[in-house]
Structure formats: structure tokens, C-alpha cells
Structure 1
Amino acid sequence: MGNKLSDNAKALLTEAIVFEEGILPPKRIDLRKLRAVVTTKKERSDKGKAFIFYLCFMAVYINMVILQRNPYNSQTMQLGVQKYLIESAYVDPYSFEVKRFEDTTTVDDLWHWLQAILVENVIVDTYPNGRQTNKSDDGNILMHNKLTSGFRLTQRRVKNDSCILREEFQNFAPNCYGRVYWDARIGPTDQEPYLSSDESELWVYQDSTIGSVDIPYLDSGYFQVFQNGKQWSRERMASLRRQMWINEGTAWVRADFVTYNPNVRLFGYFQFQFDMRPSGQILPEFRSETMAAALYETIIDFGRLGLEIVCLVSWCWLTYSTIRDARTAARKNKSRWAYLKEFDNKVCVIQILLFLCCFCWWVAIVQNPIRDQLVVTETSISFKDGSQPNFTTLSILVHDYFVASAVNLVLALFRIMSMMKVNPNISQLSDTFTRCRKNIVQFGLVLVLMIIAFQLMAHLMFGAKMREFSTFDTGFISTVRVMLGTGTYTDLSEVDPIAAPVFYYPFVFIMIFVVFNMTIAIIMDGYALSQEERKTARKSHLKELNEIRFYHQLGWGIVRQLKPFAACLPRAIRFRVMQDGTQVDRYTEPSMAEVVALLEPVEKIEERFLTVAEYKEACDQANMPVRETQLEQIAERLHCWEDFEEPVYKKERMEMRRIQDAEKMERTITLLQERVATIVATQQQMGAKVDAILRSFVVSTVQFPEAQQI
């Protein structure tokens, strides 16, 4: 044959023949597999340590935030006062209709609620048996929430002539009030003094230093304080109504008060707001917040302080590790922003910055001077100048702090999902989102555009009659609710029976039957792709690493951290059983860091396979002495021996088998040709014999004519 075996094929063929004859060749270490296994295990080890550290850090952080929030006591305290005042009903003296806080639609309804509910229920001056309370027991709402120093009314106003009015309508409607925003703080607000209806009182706008000049806070408006008993409050409320304290220039009204509950050591700040739109609509809204009366007093408080210190130290270490990794990535890739190219690293940086913001928020809450400015007496809690305590700024800080903490926990979920890549068996969810993330984002843009299109459609059709679609933001939320099934066709048809089917049925068909299914299909494609990659990985030369169970990986990872206590561990944990049955002390064998160091001497070697002796010689030349037994243990432990059945030999073996098959085919053809030649020769011999017989027969016939007659 003209074809010749390559040197590699000859070597493989020789080894195969030797192996088939039972003579095992010397074991060789697969360098490529060793590098891949060591690199993968090192990355997983680092990620595993970071994963455990991060889980412990988040456990401390979650417990710290829960103790700071005290959610159960806060919720029960707020819910009790809310039901006490929001659910309480009164009878309209004109229509005899039973109304509540949420039924406020007119200025008369607002005054009725203030007089019948707020004054009568907030200023408590009798015991449940009807007897007059002692002076020290005045203002005990729901028996345990004591009113600090009465309640307060606040209003903010809008300027007249703050909107465009045509001249021909000025005689008919000379007053025109524009729209204000953010609790009447932004827009054409009016801060000028105004007179009562009988011009006996002048009400003045006050800003930012109400309570104490040492405590500026985000509050302003025209204030009325009620803290002189129930009878005086009744008369004052009736007087304000007669004097038209609330008139056409009023844009926003708030009634607020502060309570203190000694049982749970919480201040409660309750606000009842009325947004008075220029269209004539009044929108009531209830807001509340709780704040700790003292932050560090009890054993639980000091335990929380310990968690806060641990959390701060952990955050500092996390920040240091991130900066170190960012600098390493910058040097390696020669780019300052190389670390931020990965999505997981971006989430890490955002969370670190959010932790910093939360820390600053909490420092502002702890250092807020309001608590130090309070004067506590037998009958009241007030500022040093005698005014009612105001917790507006502190409540905003507390609210924003816990909102930021909640967002932080969502980011923590993304980080935990990314860290689950430490084991392929628990990273299926994160792998799926990684595969379909770009498609989901791109399709999400299309989804948002479609929602906006239908939202504008609903805004034009139903916005003039339904509050849910009257503005862009509320319309967007309402459209999403319809998409999720919370909005009903009946609500739309009651407003406009003709426009309802035009909007509802195309929206449901497109968004639910098409868009939702496409979204699920994108996610399923990502899941199928991740599963296909897992199957491929299980068939690769790293299949041992892709089949390891998470609890096995976690358990032995923890065992490896117990090296200082190795002498106390049982033999079953301390010793590793190798494939050949030998037992090796896992704490005396080379660590992963030492194995990584042993890769340096063979880093530039191009050969894929080395015997143990050759590997040891390379280490000796690099001044890294190592025993052959250690190299054997490493190869045995990491399953890095040369494998004749490994998929990596596929091309060489196919070439060798092709040549062998060609040789067999040639031998077969030669044999067939010989057989055919033999058969042809035999046929020729048989033909000659037949001819001889026929000639003999013809001769005999000529000599014996009687044979012809026969």
C-alpha cells in the first residue's frame, strides 16, 4: 500500500496492541486534563469560599435589618390605629349616609370626618367605663398608644390665576387654580398670608423650623395645633370651619399626630392626607411609620449592635475583595473597566454602593437630634420650645432606609444565583437566565412598547371616566394589571360598552396568547440550551467535575477547612480511599494551591502526556522537589491519568482504523482475486474434459452406426 501510518498513529497502535496483549504501558499524566481540572477546581473552591462567606454575611444582615425594623410590633401598632380611625364611620347630617375616611369626596365630608372621627377618637379623655380619665392617662388611644401632645392640621395652597383663562370667561369664572405636585410642594404654590372669612384671623405660612430651630426638617405649610383638650378642640375645629380655613385655594390638607407605645418602645407617626385636585376631586390617603424610641437600651438592642458591627466589618472585607479583583482584572486585560464587563460583577458593585448608602442612612437615623430635643413630662412629649414633636424628616429617613434594604436583598438574590455556579447541579436556574438574558431584555423592550401602546389606547378610551387610566403612570400599572388578570372586562364595559371589546379582546389575545407564550418559549430555549451543555460536559474529559453532587462538594469542602483539628477527626473523614483501594490522609496530600504551583514547571511543555518520572524531572529542573508518590496521588485524586478510551483520541484512532480497514480491504480483494483465478482455472479444466468426452462420443458414433439408429 502507498499509505503509511503517522508516528502518532503508530504509537497509539503499538500501545493498543500492548494493551490488548495484557502488557500495560507506563502510566502517563494527561497535562491538558490536569490543567483544566486544577483550574476548574481552583475557581470553584474560590467561589465556594466566597459563597459561604456571602451567605453568612447575608444571614447577619437579614437578622440585623429585621431587628432594626421590628416588623411585627410595627405592623400591629399601625394596623390598630388605622382600623380605629379609617374604619370608624359617621352619619352625614344632611344625607344620613354612613361614611368613612375613604368616602371623603367634598369639603363638607372632610370637615365631618375631622369633627366626628378625628377629634372624638384621638383626644381620649374618658375610661372605657365612661369615667373621666386622670390627667396622666389622657390621650391613651387603644389603651396603650399615648398621644404625645395633641394633633395638628396642615394645609398647603395654590396661587390664584396660575392657569391660562380666556378673556371671555373671566367675568363668569374669575378664579383659576393650577395643578401642584408632590404634596403641593412643587408648582404654583402660594405662601402668602390669608385672612379668615370674617377677617378676624391671619393665617401665616411657616417653613422648616417648626418645633425647634436646631432641627430643620422637610415640612411646611399653614399649621393648626390641637393640644388643649377635647372640648377646646371641638370649638376650635368648628371655628376653623366657620372661618373657611379650607377654601378654594387649598391644594393639600393633612391631619397628623404622634403616639408612644411603652410596651413595644415605638413612636408611631400617623398622617391622614387629602389631595384636593383643581378638578374638584378629593383623594384621601393614609400614611404611617414607626420609629424606635431608643436604639440601644436592652440586651436585644446591644445584640443588634453586635450584628451591625459584624455586618460593617464584612462589608469592608467585601469591598476590599472587590477592589482587589478589579485591579487584578485591569492588569490582566489591560483595561481599567475590565472587571465590569461581567454582569455579576456589575451587580456586586451596585450592591456595595447600596450598602454604603444604607450605612449612611442608618447613621443619619441614629444621629438624628430629634430624640435629644424631646422634653418628656407626665402629660406630654414635646420639643424644648413646647411645640408638638414632628417626625417628618425622621420618618422619611426610616422609610427610605428600609426600602433601600429591601432592594439590597433583591440584589443579594441575584448574587446568590450567580454564586450557585460553584456546582453545575444547582446552577440550572442561573444558567437558564444567563443563556436567555439577552433575548429576554430585547424582547422586554418590545413588551414594554406594546404595553405602552395599549395603555395609550385605554387612556384615550377610558381615561376621562376611570381613575385607573386617567394618567400615564396609573394607566400603565392598570394595563399591566389587566394583562395579569386582576382587571375585569365588566369594569371597562360599565364605563364604555362599545370601546371595552375594542380594547379588551385584542389586548388579551396579543398579550396573553402570543406574548406570554413567546416569553415562556424564550426561557425554555435557554433551559434546553443549558441542559444540552450539561450533557456535553458530562461526556467531556471533565465529566467527574460535572457529576459531583452539591451536598458532597459542600460537605468535603467544609471538612478540608478542619485541618487544624485533623487529629480529632475520625478515620473515615480524615482518610480518602483511592481507586486502587489505598487510603491517603487528605490533610497531608498536596493542597490545591500546591497543585497549582506544580503546574508551573510544565506550563510550557507542548507534549500532552508525561510519565510520572518525566513530570518529576521537570519539577526538579524548576527547583521544585516533589516525590513521585505525590504526583501519583495528585493524578489519582484528580482522575488525570491517560485514558485510552477518552474522546480526545478520536481523530487519531479514526485515522488508524481507516488505514487498518484499507489494508484489510486490500488483502480481501487480493484473496478474492486469487479465488476467482482458481475458479476460472477449474472451469477451464472442466471445459477441456467436457470437450474430450464429446469428441469421444462423436468418434464412437461414426464407428458404430447402430448407435445412430438407437
Structure 2
Amino acid sequence: VWSLFSPGSVASSHRPKTWLWGTTLTENTSNNRELFVRTTLRELLVYVVFLVDICLLTYGMTSSSTYYYTKAMTDLFVNTAGEGGVRFQSISTMADFWTGPLLDGLYWTKWYNNQSLDSKDQSFIYYENMLLGVPRMRQIKIKNNSCKVHNDFQDEISGCFDVYNNNKEDDFSFGLINGTAWTYHTEKEIKGSSHWGLLTTYSGAGYYQDLNRTKEESAVALTELLDNLWLDRGTRAVFIDFSTYNANINMFCVIRLLVEFPATGGAIPSYQIRTVKLIRYITTWDYFILGCEMVFCVFILYYIVEEILELRIHKLSYFKSIWNILDIVVIMLAIVAIIFNIFRTVKVDNLLGKLLEQPGIYADFEFLAFWQTQYNNMNAVNLFFAWIKVFKYISFNKTMTQLSSTLGRCAKDILGFAIMFFIVFFAYAQLGYLLFGTEVESFSTFGKCIFTQFRIILGDFDYDAIDRANRVLGPIYFITYVFFVFFVLLNMFLAIINDTYSEVKEELSSQKDELQFTDIIKQSYMKTFMKLKLKKEKISDVQKALHSGSGEIEFNDFRDTLKEMGHADHEITAAFSQFDRDGNQILDEDEQERMKIELRQKRVCLII
């Protein structure tokens, strides 16, 4: 009981008893506002630590070097012209395809002064990026007579090659017949994957030719393909795949160049460059991120247990809250990320091991690069949801609830308005597609029309292109669309939000103030201050009792003096017996001196 005089006990009294996974859904906080605020505050502090950890993980996997690596590869293989003056991005015919800058970009064996790099038959692009394995060229063909020629033209047109369709792929050998370039291979045989091009989605099958590790040998292989008409009327797409590795920044760059040959004739080039970090743990910073990943796993395990406990208590009503659903989404995305991280590490080790044993084979990093990109996208979405989830823990403050209250109250009005808005919006989208779709790229598909009209609302549009496509209906379309959608409908939408916000703000200002976070801090301060003041008074009373006696002090006199000052018997007995070492119910001079020293020390601690 003497510990009541100790300052260390000040902050420990009257705290709510919460356990490790105590939350506002597991604790009975409905009738206790103070407990609700305290529990929410504890949840917020734990969640802030989790948020910092996931931010370190997410940003630790990225670097500004990623952008510059991608830009360097884009400038070299897409924007640089070859000896014939043709850039990859400007390819428009099959002839242009064969005169591009591909070989000059792939094989770097000399310095700018023609001095040898001394890298044997290994190419180091830009002197820094090692070409992994050999590049691969793959084409997809369509069968002849895969479409029907009209009777009036059957005598003049001997063959018909339809637009690309997976079921109409040509799978017959052709040309020289021998070799992989002239023989069809299924997607399973070459371990390929489908690709979403500009025109359609292509399968991972086809006819492929692996190049060599030297420029001369690769040039011979390309010449053989050119001379024997490897590309013909049936060709619908040609892929060029290769990968590089930069040890300076520990980054892989997986490059896919695609030229599509539509049924209309001509060529449409596109490219996909994925810069990813597949080898994760090398530097000190990488191992720090590894530590953050372990902490992240602990947090996910913590939150899994927490959500299970909440689900057991509230059962199906648990899913009525959008915040609880968001908790589940964040946890599920995190579990998928952890599983993929393990899978990626094992897969990269196996692939690199095979490549080191056979450096002359095609290094297929496309699969890993694709899923690494999806992994990064998933982490980006998860981090976004994690930040949004902060609103869950600051909802006890009425100022922070204005956004959610406003959106919740005007949801029905916005839904009704959205029906009216999209009727008009889609009507204009169809009108624009039919009027300008044949001439204006931004209206060439119905999907593009939708995004183009959103851009018009934001002021990003090409009026001249619309005017050239239709000199009469173009201006009418533009003027009426801007008037009805921008000036009328958009302002109606803003008016709904603004009026609802004004109502919510007025109601919140008129509500009785509930216990807030600042009130909790103020109460804790006042309680601490009052307890400190009370203990100082108790110590002063004991000091007075010591000074009131002369010589030895008997227990009865000591007790009578303190009882007159309002102290309880058990406090007096505990204080006396602590210093009555011989138990004779009398404090001699030495015992009194020790008690005075102890009281002075306690008083100094309380003042500090």
C-alpha cells in the first residue's frame, strides 16, 4: 500500500483492461465512449506502424533507375533509326520490318572507337546491359481461305486471309519445312503465353526462329528468312523477345517488340518493355526490406486472428460494414503477395541456373516479368486501400466523418442522377462513334469514344479532327455535348454534392459534442495532475507527523496524528511497518532519519 505514495503508479489506475486483439468490435464499447476512443486510438497506433512497414516494402521495391532503364531501351530499340533510316515505331510495311535497327541494337562488341570489348561472344548493350541468352523471333499466321470471297471477285482474288482468330491459325509447315522457323509449335510446346496487342489478343503458339550470340550469325539467319519469304499474306503478327540484365542496378529488362499485320494490309508496330527486379536480396538495403517483409508477415498474421475473432462475435453482420470488407481485401491481397514472393524467388533461381548451364538458349523471362508486374500492381492497389483504411480509425472525430456522411446521404440522389447522366453520355458516345469512327482515332472504337468524352469534359480534345471528319454534324455534336453534359449535367452533380455537404456540416455543428481524442488527453492530464497533488499532500502529512514527535515515536501517536489528517488505518500501518525494522512499534532516530530521506526522494520525484 505504501506504493500509493509512488509516482510510478499514477498512469496505471482506471485503465480499461484490453487484451492483445482488443478492438472496437471485440470490446463492449457501445455504452462507454471513453473506452471506444481509447480502443480506437490503440488500433490506430498499431495500424500506423503497419502502414509505415507496407510503405517501406512498396517503395523499397522501386527506384528511379527503373524509369531510366526503360527509357534507354526504348530509345535504342524503338526510336533509333537503322541503316535504312527506318525506326521501329515507323514500320508500315513488311519491307520496313527487315530494315529496322534490331541487330545494331542487340549486339555490342566494340567501343565507340572500334576497340574490342573483350567480352568474347557476349553482348553488353550500352556497355552495361548483358544480353541474356539469345533473342527469339516468332510469327503467327492465319490459314488461306479462312474467309469467303464474294462471287463477283472470286475469279480475280485467289486467296482470302481473315482477321486473326485463334481457331483459324495456320498450323501447317511451309517454306523450307525443316527447322523451327518453318514448323508450327503449340503454345504448350514452346511454353509461350498469350499477348494483348493493339488489334486483338494473340496466342503463344506459332513459328519461331532463335537468333545467335553473334551479329554475323544472326544476320545470316535473318537473311535466310527474308530470302525464303518467311513473312507472307497469312502473317498476322511477329514477336521479337529478348531480355537484358544490368548488374549496376540489379534490374532485368524484358523486351517484346510486336509488329501486327492486319487484314487491311500495312503494319502496326507496338512494344512492351518491363523493367523488374527479380533478384531481391543483394545489398544492405535489400536485407532491410527482407526484415520489413518479416514484420509484414507478423502483422498479417495478427490481423488474420483479429478478423477471425470479430467474425466469430458478429457472424454475418460483420460484412455489413464496408471497413470490415476492406480489411478482408487488404489481408487477401497481402497473402497472395507473400505466396507470389516465395514462388518468384524459387522460379528465378531455377531459370538462372538453366541459363548459366546453357547460355546459347532463349531466356524466357516473359512469364516472370508479367507476374512481377502484376505483383507490383497488386501492391500498389493494396497500399492504396491501406491508406484509405485510415479513415476507419479516425471516424470517432466528427470532423473526419463529413466526407463519408456526405457521400452516404447523397448516394440515392447520385444514383438517380447517374442514370440520367449516362443515358445522355452513351447516346453521345454512339453518335460520335458513328459520325467520326472511320477517320478520327480517338473515336475509332466505342470504348475510345467513352474515354474521349470524359477527356472533353476535362478540356482535352481535338476539335479540328472532329470538324474535318464531318463539317456539318461535327460542330453540332461538339456544341450540344459541351452544353448539356458540361454546363448542365456536371453542374447538377456538383450541386447535389454541395447541398448535401452543407446539410451535413450544419447538423454536425449543432450536435452535442461527444468525447473526442483531445478530451481523452485532457482527462488523462487532469487525472495525473490530481493524483500527483494528492500524493504530495500525503507525503507532507507524514513529514508533519515525524516532526511533531520528539525522540522516539510510538505507533499509536503516529497513527493518531495521521488519522486526524484523514488517512486510513491500512495506509498508516503500511507506512509505519516499512521502517519499523525491529517490529517494536517504535521509530527510533535512525528509523526516522531513513523515513525522512525516503519521503524527500518521493517528493522530488513528484515535482519532476
TM-score (norm 2): 0.75
1:344 aligns with 2:318: no
- Residue 387 of structure 2 is aligned with which of 389, 397, 413? 413
Contact residue 89 and residue 99 of structure 1 kept, 8 A? yes
- Cα deviation code 1:344-403 (max 9, x no counterpart): 2222223322223323332322232x4324358xxxx55648411101110111011111
**Whole-Å separation in 1 of the counterparts to 2:263 and 2:501:** 53
**Whole-Å separation in 2 of the counterparts to 1:144 and 1:201:** 32
Counterpart of 2:147 in structure 1 is 163
- Residue 172 of structure 2 is aligned with which of 187, 192, 199? 192
Give the counterpart letter for 2:312 in structure 1: R
Secondary structure of 1:288's counterpart equals strand
Counterpart of 1:371 in structure 2 is 349
Over 3 Å counting, the alpha-carbon distance change for 1:536 and 1:291 in structure 2 is same
- Cα deviation code 1:652-702 (max 9, x no counterpart): xxxxxxxxxxxxxxxxxxxxxxxxxxxxxxxxxxxxxxxxxxxxxxxxxxx
Between the two proteins, what is the percent identity of the paired residues? 22
Over 3 Å counting, the alpha-carbon distance change for 1:187 and 1:52 in structure 2 is farther
- Residue 391 of structure 1 is aligned with which of 365, 383, 386? 365
- Residue 528 of structure 2 is aligned with which of 571, 575, 597? 575
1:469 aligns with 2:447: no
- Cα deviation code 1:377-435 (max 9, x no counterpart): xxxx5564841110111011101111112222232233223333121233333333333
Counterpart of 2:197 in structure 1 is none
Contact residue 180 and residue 208 of structure 2 kept, 8 A? no
Over 3 Å counting, the alpha-carbon distance change for 1:392 and 1:449 in structure 2 is farther
1:52 aligns with 2:45: yes
Counterpart of 1:601 in structure 2 is none
**Whole-Å separation in 1 of the counterparts to 2:411 and 2:259:** 44
Contact residue 119 and residue 230 of structure 1 kept, 8 A? yes
Counterpart of 1:128 in structure 2 is 112
Over 3 Å counting, the alpha-carbon distance change for 1:45 and 1:224 in structure 2 is same
Counterpart of 2:125 in structure 1 is 141
Over 3 Å counting, the alpha-carbon distance change for 1:360 and 1:37 in structure 2 is closer
**Deviation of 1:255 (Å):** 1.3
Secondary structure of 2:74's counterpart equals helix
**Deviation of 1:453 (Å):** 2.0
Over 3 Å counting, the alpha-carbon distance change for 1:442 and 1:341 in structure 2 is farther
1:41 aligns with 2:34: yes
* Aligned CA-pair RMSD: 3.1
How many aligned positions are there?
499
- Cα deviation code 1:205-248 (max 9, x no counterpart): 2245667xxx8866432211222411222232233222221111
Contact residue 276 and residue 369 of structure 2 kept, 8 A? yes
**Whole-Å separation in 2 of the counterparts to 1:556 and 1:316:** 35
Over 3 Å counting, the alpha-carbon distance change for 1:494 and 1:101 in structure 2 is farther
Could you list the runs of 5+ residues in structure 2 that have no partner in the other structure? Answer: 1-27, 195-203, 536-608
**Deviation of 1:285 (Å):** 1.4
Counterpart of 2:87 in structure 1 is 100
**Whole-Å separation in 1 of the counterparts to 2:533 and 2:141:** 85
Structure 2 counterparts to residues 520-539 of structure 1, below 5 A: 520-537=494-511
Structure 2 counterparts to residues 121-520 of structure 1, below 5 A: 121-136=105-120, 138-180=122-164, 186-196=166-176, 203-208=182-187, 219-330=204-315, 337-368=316-347, 370-375=348-353, 381=355, 384=358, 386-520=360-494
**Deviation of 1:142 (Å):** 1.5
Contact residue 92 and residue 268 of structure 2 kept, 8 A? yes
**Deviation of 1:462 (Å):** 1.0
Secondary structure of 1:294's counterpart equals coil
TM-score (norm 1): 0.64
Structure 2 counterparts to residues 647-666 of structure 1, below 5 A: none
**Deviation of 1:459 (Å):** 0.9
Counterpart of 1:82 in structure 2 is 74
Larger Rg: 1
Contact residue 184 and residue 207 of structure 2 kept, 8 A? yes
**Whole-Å separation in 2 of the counterparts to 1:200 and 1:306:** 50
**Whole-Å separation in 2 of the counterparts to 1:575 and 1:467:** 71
**Whole-Å separation in 2 of the counterparts to 1:438 and 1:351:** 28
Contact residue 193 and residue 202 of structure 1 kept, 8 A? no
Contact residue 373 and residue 383 of structure 1 kept, 8 A? no
**Whole-Å separation in 2 of the counterparts to 1:289 and 1:319:** 34
**Deviation of 1:311 (Å):** 1.1
**Whole-Å separation in 2 of the counterparts to 1:143 and 1:584:** 77
**Whole-Å separation in 1 of the counterparts to 2:458 and 2:261:** 32
Counterpart of 2:99 in structure 1 is 112
Structure 2 counterparts to residues 611-650 of structure 1, below 5 A: none
**Deviation of 1:573 (Å):** 8.7
Over 3 Å counting, the alpha-carbon distance change for 1:469 and 1:82 in structure 2 is same
Contact residue 291 and residue 398 of structure 1 kept, 8 A? yes
